[in-house]
Every structure is written in structure tokens, then in C-alpha cells.
A = this chain, B = another copy of it.
Amino acid sequence: MRESETGEIRGLTIFADMDDAAFARLCRAAYVQTFPPQVELFAEGEPSDFLHILVAGQVELCAHWNGRETVMEIVRPVSSFILAATIRDAPFLMSARTVEKSRLILLPSQDVRNVFDTDGAFARALVRELAGCYRGVVKSSKNLKLRNGIERLANYLIRQQDLAGGAPSFVLPVEKRKIAALLGMTPENFSRALRLLGEYGVTNDGMTITIADRKSLVRLAKPVRMIDDPEI
């Protein structure tokens, strides 16, 4: 991997505190790869041979059981994913598929574990990262168990508006059907729920959402820090 490429991930919080030598050991056998849209990167149950870092594009993590499929998470750059499987040398719990053309850096899991075993700074950074990941999933689980479909959608839209900079109009990051699965609902119900949010000032044209009356939407969504604040 060339230096220009390692630079793209050097700033990630999990690498920030480690010294250059350790980082170099991590990147020695790493490689960069660009994938077209809709490519399966790996499947649930496979051994986790590489720690994946998404540099550009978008990747969805999904899960399957008994012929059913759901979306667990949508990964946006720059961030690592499936860190826990790498650390535990355990099979993937989720499958990964590119949503659009994506560039990834792949670090051999064995190298990640070796550096983690010898570099204290890296180990500590991983603790903080994994603690954050854990809390992220707990929040998502609370969201699923405590809210119904419309409430989840309302909160999702508020969050997306913030991510997009807060303007009244913004574009959904992925297909509606994927967002529906992420929120634990069918595409049909997603569509109906979105129309019901018209009562709260939400309109949509294709992938563009406009929130005319955010206060009204917030009154319905009732976002709270212990579910909706990604920083906590």
C-alpha cells in the first residue's frame, strides 16, 4: 500500500495514538481495493481475515435467517467495520455489500491482532472504539424495542437532516428499501409512514426529503440523548 493511501486512514481515532512503526507494521500487508456497486465483500459466518476500512463510497451490513434478510447498519467513510470479529478471530455476524462504488483498505486480521498484542496505545484505542460500537448497537436496539415504525422513521429523518448540515431539504443516503430494512419495516410501510409524516411537515420528492416544520416533527419523534445522540 502506498503512503498516500495509508494517510487516508492514519487520522482514524483507532490509529491516532500509535507510533509510526506500529502503524507501518499494520499497513505492511494491507491493500487497497475499489469495488463496484452491489458487490458482496463477505458473508455472515465466514472467517474474518481482514479488518475493513471504508475510505470512499458506502457499504451495508446485513443479516440473514431462515430466508429473511435485514439491514443492520450502513457504513459511511471513513470508518472501520467488523472490528469485533477481527479481534476475537471469530466469524462475521453480518454480511457486507457495497451500496455504491467503494474504496476499501483491508488490513490482515492477524496483523491487527499482533500489533494489538504488542502496542498498548493501539489496544487502548481499540477499547474506546469498541466501547463506542457497543453503545451504538445498544442505542439502536433501544430504538427498535421502544419505538414503533413511524417514530423510528421520524427520528431517522431528524438525524439525517443534522448529518446533512441542517438544511430543510436533504437527500437520503441510500435506497428507501434499505432504510426501511434498517428501521425494521417493510418498504410498503416505510412509504405509508413517510406519507403520514406529511401531517408533521415532511414532504418527499424521490430521494429528497424536505422538513418544513422541524419542531412539529420533533414533537412526534421525541429524540433523547440516550438513544439518538451518537456522541454519547
Residues of A at the B interface (CB closer than 8 Å) are 44-45, 63-66, 68, 70, 72, 83-85, 87-88, 90-91, 93-94, 116-117, 120, 123-124, 126-128, 130-135, 137-142, 144-147, 184, 222, 224-227, 232
Contacts and interface: CB of A to CB of B under 8 A. Distances in A.
Q: How many copies does the complex hold?
A: 2
Given A65-B227, A227-B65, A90 B124 contact: no
A149 to B, nearest CB: 13
Contacts of A72: 138, 141-142, 145
A27 to B, nearest CB: 20
3 tightest A-B CB contacts, nearest first: A84-B131, A130-B130, A120-B120
11 contacts: A65-B147, A83-B131, A84-B138, A87-B128, A90-B135, A90-B232, A91-B226, A93-B135, A93-B138, A127-B130, A134-B137
Nearest to A88: B131
A94 B134 CA distance: 13
Nearest to A94: B138
Nearest to A44: B226
B140 A141 contact: yes
